[in-house]
Structure 1
Amino acid sequence: MDLQVEIMEQDEETAVLAAAGEVDAYTAPKLKEALLPLTKKENFLVKVDLKDVSYMDSTGLGVFISALKSTKENNSSMKLVHLQDRVLRLFEITGLIEIMDIEWGANG
């Protein structure tokens, strides 16, 4: 399955990046290419909507780790929202849920 990545909303302080499909070794570079530039804007919030991501592997986690590192370096922030249970479980198992801003409820 392919991955679609789209910046849904953007203003001077916030962007919403929506991803749909599967994030794996083949599709992760597409996500990284869209996400990393947003994390390099100072005092900027990037919300990553993962409600339509049905699968993610360690390569996908690596993209989010890189993005988190970039937010720290650039005084920006990232919030992951609307994670499906399967994807959320991956963040729980790896302990990333402890260091990343993740909101998995319906109102994320």
Structure 2
Amino acid sequence: MNLTINVVNEGPMKSVVYLVGEIDAYTAPNLKEALIPLTRQEEHHVEVDLAEINYMDSTGLGTFISALKSSKEYSSKLTLVNIQDRVLRLFKITGLDEIMDLRASIRGGSE
């Protein structure tokens, strides 16, 4: 199981994290290592593009919960975009869709 992580800085206050593969117990630590430092930058907006994620387990959800807590602590913003239905279902079942900023498209919604 592999996960490719590509962080693209779109200016001094915004980063987009493109993910390809699966988020599970094996790959989640690498995602957390890439994601948490971005959320620790004050007023930074971090978008995570999940368009190419076809599988995620509870470890992945835990990683995003940690990133959400970090973003609140450091006054940054975390947005998850382009979520496939299968993965979105996990967020809905756990109620995380109520507390996390989930978007249908990476350029959609208000900034």
Give the TM-score taking structure 1 as reference length.
0.95
Shift in Å, 1:9: 3.1
Residue deviations 1:37-77 (CA, integer Å, cap 9, x gap): 00000011000000000000000000000000000100001
Q: What is the identity, as a one-letter code, of the residue corresponding to 2:58?
A: S
Question: How many residues are treated as equivalent by the alignment?
Answer: 108
Query: In the alignment, is the contact (CA less than 8 A) between 2:49 and 2:106 conserved in 1?
Result: no
The residue aligned with 1:71 is: 71
Shift of 1:105: 4.1
Q: Structure 1: which 5+ runs fail to align?
A: none
In the alignment, the residues of structure 1 paired with residue 65 and residue 10 of structure 2 have an alpha-carbon distance, to the nearest angstrom, of 22
Root mean square deviation, CA, Å = 1.2
Structure 2, gaps ≥5 residues long: none
1:70-89 correspondence to structure 2 within 5 Å: 70-89=70-89
Aligned-pair identity in percent equals 56
1:19 partner letter: L
Which is further off, 6-15 or 40-49? 6-15
- Quick one: which amino acid aligns to residue 66 of structure 2? S
How far is the alpha carbon of 1:85 from its aligned partner? 0.5
Give the distance between the partners of 2:13 and 2:38, measured in 1 at CA. Answer: 10
Q: Please give the TM-score of this superposition, normalised by the length of structure 2.
A: 0.93
